[in-house]
Chain A
């Protein structure tokens, strides 16, 4: 348990030193390769607290039946006892042979909550009910999985630092059908979530860098006069989508403009000299968001790589990913 807590505490994106990395490897066995099938060995069953109270009650009922020599009392006591015992098997079966895999993780900014998705695949011909997910002391919800279907559960974890956030280990449990017993399995899937740097809070104007010959410039596209439509490419700003054409079901078309080409913006690492690394990354992340919001074509130059100017969802993601994994 201590290792679990430590893992939560150190579950940040900072590149660990060699020593801590070694320690982490010791504390944490290699994550399970996904998908994991819950075999007999992985599932534990123990009575719940109400289950223990139930056992106490059965004891009292047995004593009463003996004392009164009451045959139906014996019948009822034994029936309820057998019911509890049978429910162990049902509770256990509720988890048995489920196939667990990591779902898609969406990147978040530092300071936000990272969401991890766990998908339960039921290969059996009977439904599974009320399977709970617990991670970091918080129950992340319950799922019912129908036969031959998949259901997913999510849990969140505050993303404190940029980088690659490793999901903590978690517990899948079930007390279905009677709540007298609890079957659980402890899983440690190899799940990550990319954490972008936290965008700097204050809005500084975008740096205006003298235009150079770039891919955007040669196209001669600008924002001045509308000259026609062309097919919309993934990466084009949504602001240029010809929504009227979309409404006419002509497909996704982008508006083209002529005129003096707008100058590309270069977001430069070197322009922020004198700042700390994380602060620089925060500032760059803020600029990426601002430029994207303003539909301003932008490129980015980091010490180890450069991203050519562009615009759109993919470009933004690439830039943010570069910032997130900078120096790692």
Chain B
């Protein structure tokens, strides 16, 4: 009964983190079956028969198919596993069934890590492992002699003893690439920029405190207003959203640096998209990636694991001075009949301003000088979005300004495109690295000017200079800030946030990011031979043997050896005390003979000698008998 409660508790703890990605009926179903089992154990109900279970299994399978349209995949698989555990409870009879359920509880823990590997989650799941191990011990303690506390303590000490071995395995077990493909939904639910931009698509990211990436600079970090992190470059406008239907092919653009290179290492959180981010504008590319003429960096496959790469960038640069004809056409294309008033405005500018630069300034001047407002909650826009924004609502977020600006430029005959990415970031003074969050998402424009190539223009900066200088929290009015971005003024809270991020960063870098590359570079610090898997295996084996030996020795320390038998020890003391008085026991002399001889030499001690010898002989050779304490006491009092 007690064991069953523990078993149900450990299963419940292991299932709990899965509740939010299972269908709604799964949680109550598990609860109901668990309660049923408990009532059965009390003898107040019966277990269901085979047909009922068969029907229930069919219903559950149908339910899972109805929700996920598959039985494979991460979410469907976990739901199926949880349901099968609940059903197994209903036919648990033999001790082996119990063991299988305990093992499944452990298995649920590992599925929990498919969803989150954060520090709090790891801690929680470690507690689940502790409880499950305690349950396991409870089932082995057949006489029930162990209370809850000793069982927990034993489980804890087993786990603590397992930790050194686990560390050796973790560090030295050779990491290999995945052996086969993963289900489609393995990496679902990641946040980040998307491959298209429409009004509202970036502002929805602003509420997210999630980390986009972290950057450690080799030298001093760049000035905040040059921290433009280049992401997807969007060429094509369909009257509603900006996107890139086919990536620009051709070689990477020639970048002409105009200043010192900035070197840094960027750790990108997985976002399940192919593009990588770099400080505008990168001079080198991360290994295995490529970039087209628009300098949008693409990895070979979607980023599904935390990715680290080192780059060099120039914040002062010139690139794309010569513009290919197909690029020019693409950078001027606009949908027909869209936004006539904006087209007309651009046409007017074209007639009055002598060069493209003046037109750019005119557009920025309009944003700066007229009543445009930078806001996170702009009014909805209709069919002619740019017209309505420029001549009607005049309230918008960065995607409104960037989109409208590029539209105007194209209408005025200036090649232009939208660039999305992140702007800014927050330095963590404790760890000396920059944190870029989803809330730093941003969109800006690039225009092509003869002789200067592609030039970055940020229309948002014209409306709200604070956005670029001090970040999003400073640029928006207090009332509009999402909850995540408020309260930043409290110093200790800020410090705690930074410390926590530092811990998280190290966790990501050293624990979660410990893959093939990291393992090799880390281990080769110690010895060159450790960089190969053969070297790792040999060291691993040696480490395991050494650790097990150490644990075995430590445990044996508590097992008395032949000499440390308390009865034997007491008798040895007795002989030693007699030896000091000149009565030495010969090696061949039995205890009885020795007692006779000793008593003959020292008749005054006869009673004591007899008593000790009798106790000893009885303890040593007689029936098992709990009188070792009596003998010890008698010897202690024996002072010849």
- Say yes or no: is A70 at the interface (Cβ < 8 Å to chain B): yes
Which residues in B have their C-beta under 8 angstroms from that of A304?
none
A66–chain B nearest beta-carbon distance, Å: 6
| CB neighbors of A among B471-488 (8 A) | none
Most buried by A among B117, B560, B564, B626: B560
CA distance A279 to B117 in the complex (A): 80
- Say yes or no: is A200 at the interface (Cβ < 8 Å to chain B): no
Nearest CB to that of B512 among chain A residues? Answer: A71
CA distance A51 to B314 in the complex (A): 59
In terms of DSSP, what is the predominant structure of the interface of chain B? helix
| CB neighbors of A among B241-278 (8 A) | none
Nearest CB to that of B109 among chain A residues? Answer: A76
CA distance A22 to B556 in the complex (A): 42
- Say yes or no: is B170 at the interface (Cβ < 8 Å to chain A): yes
CA distance A142 to B179 in the complex (A): 46
CA distance A75 to B168 in the complex (A): 10
| CB neighbors of A among B145-168 (8 A) | 145-146, 154, 158-159, 161-166
* Binary per-residue interface labels of chain A (90-115) against chain B in the complex, 1 for a CB within 8 Å, 0 otherwise: 10010011010101100000000000
- The one of B179, B512, B561, B566 in contact with A63, judged by C-beta atoms closer than 8 angstroms, is B179
- Say yes or no: is A80 at the interface (Cβ < 8 Å to chain B): yes
A139–chain B nearest beta-carbon distance, Å: 10
Contact residue range for chain B? Answer: 35 or more
Which residues in A have their C-beta under 8 angstroms from that of B175?
66
A185–chain B nearest beta-carbon distance, Å: 15
Which residues in A have their C-beta under 8 angstroms from that of B560?
97, 123-125
| CB neighbors of B among A45-101 (8 A) | 49-50, 53-54, 57, 60-61, 63-83, 85-87, 89-90, 93, 96-97, 99, 101
- Say yes or no: is A175 at the interface (Cβ < 8 Å to chain B): yes
CA distance A80 to B560 in the complex (A): 30
**Is A130 within 8 A of B158, CB to CB?**
no
**Is A57 within 8 A of B162, CB to CB?**
no
Which residues in A have their C-beta under 8 angstroms from that of B154?
177
| CB neighbors of B among A121-177 (8 A) | 121, 123-127, 129-130, 132, 142-144, 148-150, 152, 175-177
CA distance A134 to B511 in the complex (A): 47
- The one of B117, B142, B158, B173 in contact with A178, judged by C-beta atoms closer than 8 angstroms, is B158
Which residues in B have their C-beta under 8 angstroms from that of A11?
none
B178–chain A nearest beta-carbon distance, Å: 5
CA distance A150 to B564 in the complex (A): 17
| CB neighbors of B among A5-30 (8 A) | none
A206–chain B nearest beta-carbon distance, Å: 38
Which residues in A have their C-beta under 8 angstroms from that of B117?
70-72
**Is B173 within 8 A of A78, CB to CB?**
yes
* Binary per-residue interface labels of chain A (177-197) against chain B in the complex, 1 for a CB within 8 Å, 0 otherwise: 111000000000000000000
- The one of B159, B564, B566 in contact with A83, judged by C-beta atoms closer than 8 angstroms, is B159
Given A71-B117, A76-B129, A130-B141, the answer on whether A61 and B624 have CB atoms closer than 8 Å is no
B297–chain A nearest beta-carbon distance, Å: 22
**Is A79 within 8 A of B110, CB to CB?**
no
Which residues in B have their C-beta under 8 angstroms from that of A150?
624-626
- The one of A53, A70, A74, A104 in contact with B103, judged by C-beta atoms closer than 8 angstroms, is A53
- Say yes or no: is B113 at the interface (Cβ < 8 Å to chain A): yes
B328–chain A nearest beta-carbon distance, Å: 43
**Is A121 within 8 A of B624, CB to CB?**
yes
Which residues in A have their C-beta under 8 angstroms from that of B559?
93, 96-97, 124
Nearest CB to that of A179 among chain B residues? Answer: B140
**Is B512 within 8 A of A72, CB to CB?**
yes
- The one of A60, A71, A73, A119 in contact with B513, judged by C-beta atoms closer than 8 angstroms, is A71
CA distance A121 to B114 in the complex (A): 49
CA distance A99 to B178 in the complex (A): 52
**Can you name 23 A-B residue pairings with CB atoms under 8 Å?**
A53-B100, A68-B178, A68-B186, A69-B515, A71-B514, A72-B113, A72-B512, A74-B173, A76-B129, A79-B162, A79-B166, A82-B169, A96-B559, A123-B560, A129-B145, A142-B142, A143-B143, A144-B145, A150-B624, A175-B140, A177-B136, A177-B141, A179-B139
16 extra interchain contacts, Cβ-Cβ under 8 A, other than A49-B96, A53-B99? A37-B562, A60-B107, A64-B110, A72-B125, A78-B170, A79-B162, A89-B552, A97-B559, A119-B623, A123-B565, A125-B560, A150-B624, A177-B158, A178-B133, A178-B136, A179-B136
- Which 3 pairs across A and B sit closest by C-beta, in order of nearness? A82-B165, A82-B162, A78-B169
